[in-house]
Amino acid sequence: MLLLSAHQIQQWDAFTILHEPIESIDLMERAAQCCVDWISENDFLDHKIKIFCGKGNNGGDGLAIARLLINKNYDVAVYILEFGARGTNDFQINLHLLHQLTTEIYFIQSSEFIPAIEKADVVIDALYGSGLNRPLQLLSKEIVEHINQSTKNIISIDVPSGMSIDKSSKGNTIVHAKHTLTFQSLKLCFLVAENADYFGEVHVLDIRLIQQFIQSTETVFEIISLEQIVSQIKPRKDFTHKGNYGHALLVTGNKGKMGAALLTAKACLRTGAGLVTVNIPEQDQSTINSFLPEAMTMNRDDENSFDYFSTIGIGPGLGTNNDAQKIVLQVLQQYKKPMVIDADALNIISENKKLLELIPEGSIISPHPKEFERLVGVCENEFERLNKAIELSNQYPFIIILKGHYTLIAANGKGYFNTTGNAGLAKAGSGDVLTGMISSLLSQNYESLQAAKIAVYLHGLAADLALENQSTESLLATDVIDAIGKAFNFLRD
């Protein structure tokens, strides 16, 4: 699914109007009917509904919704933000039609005209849609603040008023919606944590825009689909042996952090690597041998050649002391195939950014937001962080997995969001599991971007399936590992 800019959304509407063909007022009616169907299905009939409208097309949607609800015997009052402009043509047409049905149409010309709202009232927010490009000010800001203080039963149409769909709205006044009814596709604004308190539950309503437009449109961001992942997973052939599925070296773990090594290695094996060797201090090798007999070990202090490994995963539990810095530099100088770099290895690189030049082409780095900022500098907001990830992917020939609720994979100037996973992953060890899974897929000769997408999707899916036996509070990284097999089987069914 492509994530369109505000301008592209307008173009999609225009394309549909031209090629269906359909009048713009009829497309607005179709969108309004979808909203009314959702409202009817979710049992708001016993509530007083107050609809707040601007004078643009989002306000026109609100007026059409009001008319359709009145025709279904809902108790509806409409409040229009009066700021001098006449309003769009479709707004004016719907206002004329509404005047024929009701007298409960009021114009808010100043603060004194803002109506009282009871806690039980349902407010429909149709003030500003996806075309908003500036913070709310003056009277519109007062109205939104009043709505937010008065009720929690708020339904926003398209996007909550005050929220930009493709740039940061941090610090701005925004409607606190309980539900957002957005049209045709998700928007970028619904995938960033800084907006999470505002959009509530997002419901994508199909208003039948022509799909041909999407097929010929380029975007920076898109959402990874189930179909994409299923099509990329390679079937495991019967007449194969462990050598066919690669040999991953994991440079992980240190004193007090051997759990990271165990989690990374077990996840790597569960994801299908034929052989896994863990590079750790000699005194800790018995831990791996005792708790994960399927893995082999290599003494970190020995002089070793890395060339014969299919891939290397480095970082989880490594620490940042002199010995850790030495092994990171050694790996980067000697190994020229795609590798996975995470956690402490990234922190070491952030202290000497010239090391970024040594990362082999096709490698994958997987920072969480703070680790990412150590690499690129502090970001004012999430949109800046996303854009910096895209810029970094253009600057260097490696892939960035920027971890979060909707993890972003940035590669060659494009961004791919993952939608699997849950809040149970906000726990120590989750990133170690992901590093092991990516390393496993690279060792099995998956192309780097494929490996990144599949690993992130599988990781989140395994966490979702693990909730059959756990809660988001109780979920452990080991539960995610144990559900990797279920995730593979889910994708094959």
Q: What's the confidence (pLDDT) of residue 388?
A: 98
Provide the residue range defining the domain that includes 41: 2-218
Whole-number pLDDT of residue 305 = 85
Taking residues 430-454, report their average pLDDT. 98
Q: With contact defined as beta carbons under 8 Å apart, do 205 and 38 qualify?
A: yes
- d(CA 289, CA 457) in angstroms, rounded, equals 30
Average pLDDT, the chain: 96
Q: Of the candidates 68, 59, 61, 63, which has an alpha carbon nearest to the alpha carbon of residue 39?
A: 68
Same domain, 451 and 485: yes
Using alpha carbons only, give the angle 455, 366, 371 rounded to the nearest 5 degrees.
Answer: 155
Helix (H) or strand (E) holding 98: helix 89-99
Residue 30, H or E segment: helix 24-41
Is residue 291 located within the same domain as residue 367?
Answer: yes
CATH number at residue 278: 3.40.1190.20
Is residue 301 pLDDT above 90, yes or no?
no
The residue ranking higher by pLDDT, 256 or 52, is 52
Let me know whether 346 and 472 are in one domain: yes
pLDDT surpassing 90 at residue 43: no
Q: Quick one: tokens of 113?
A: 């005209």
Residue of 13, 126, 135, 119 whose CA lies nearest to 69: 126
What percent of the chain has a predicted confidence (pLDDT) above 90?
95
Q: 266 and 149 in one domain?
A: no
Same domain flag for 211 and 268: no
As a whole number of angstroms, the distance between CA 22 and CA 9 comes to 16
Q: Are residues 293 and 241 in the same domain?
A: yes
Give the pLDDT mean for 88-103: 97
412 has a pLDDT exceeding 90: yes
Q: Are residues 209 and 231 in the same domain?
A: no
Domain end position, chosen among 158, 184, 218? 218
Residue, of 176 and 47, whose pLDDT is higher:
176
Same domain? For 162 and 242 the reply is no
Residues 176 and 293 in one domain: no
Question: What distance in Å separates the CA atoms of residue 65 and residue 157, rounded to the nearest whole number?
Answer: 10
> 177, 195 in Cβ contact below 8 A?
no
Residue 337 φ/ψ, nearest 5 degrees: -95, 165
Q: Is the pLDDT of residue 84 over 80?
A: no
Mean pLDDT of the 455-461 span: 98
342 Ramachandran zone, left/alpha/beta (phi>0; psi -120 to 50)? beta
Q: What is the pLDDT of residues 464-473, one digit of tens each?
A: 999 999 999 9
pLDDT over 90 at 44, yes or no: no
pLDDT digits (tens, 9 = 90+) for 316-365: 999 999 999 999 999 999 999 999 999 999 999 999 999 999 999 999 99
pLDDT at 343: 97
218, 249, 271: which is the final residue of a domain? Answer: 218
Q: What stretches of 352-447 show up as alpha helix (H) in DSSP?
A: 369-376, 382-395, 430-443
Q: Supply the DSSP symbol for 34.
A: H
Q: Is 94 exposed, middle or buried (0-12, 13-18, 19+ CB in 10 A)?
A: buried
Residue 45 has pLDDT above 90, yes or no: no
Give the confidence band of 217 by pLDDT, cuts at 50, 70, 90.
very high
| Rounded Cα distance, 357 and 191, in Å | 31
pLDDT at 279: 97
What is the pLDDT, as a whole number, of residue 17? Answer: 97
- Is the CB of residue 275 less than 8 Å from the CB of residue 241? no
Confidence class of residue 4 from pLDDT cuts 50, 70 and 90?
Answer: very high
3-state helix, strand, coil split of the chain in percent (to 5) is: 45, 15, 40
- Domain boundary residue, one of 159, 191, 218: 218
Residues 309 and 193 in one domain: no
Mark whether 109 and 209 lie in a shared domain. Answer: yes
pLDDT of residue 234: 95
| pLDDT tens per residue, range 384-409 | 999 999 999 999 999 999 999 999 99
The number of domains in the chain is: 2
Q: State residue 86's pLDDT score.
A: 86
How many Å is the Cα radius of gyration of the chain?
26
Instruction: Output the pLDDT for position 302.
Output: 82
Q: List, in sequence order, the alpha helices (H) in 190-257.
A: 196-199, 212-215, 226-232
Is the pLDDT assigned to residue 132 strictly greater than 90? no
Least confident of 80-89, 114-123, 190-199, 415-424: 80-89
Give the separation between CA 163 and CA 129, rounded to whole angstroms. 8
Please answer whether residues 168 and 382 qualify as being in contact, where contact means their C-beta atoms are separated by less than 8 angstroms: yes
293 pLDDT band, cuts 50/70/90, is very high
CATH number at residue 204: 3.40.50.10260
One domain, residues 291 and 193 = no
- The average pLDDT across 13-31 equals 97
Q: What is the mean pLDDT of residues 92-120?
A: 97
- Residue 454 token pair: 């599949």
- Between CA 192 and CA 258 the distance in angstroms is 33
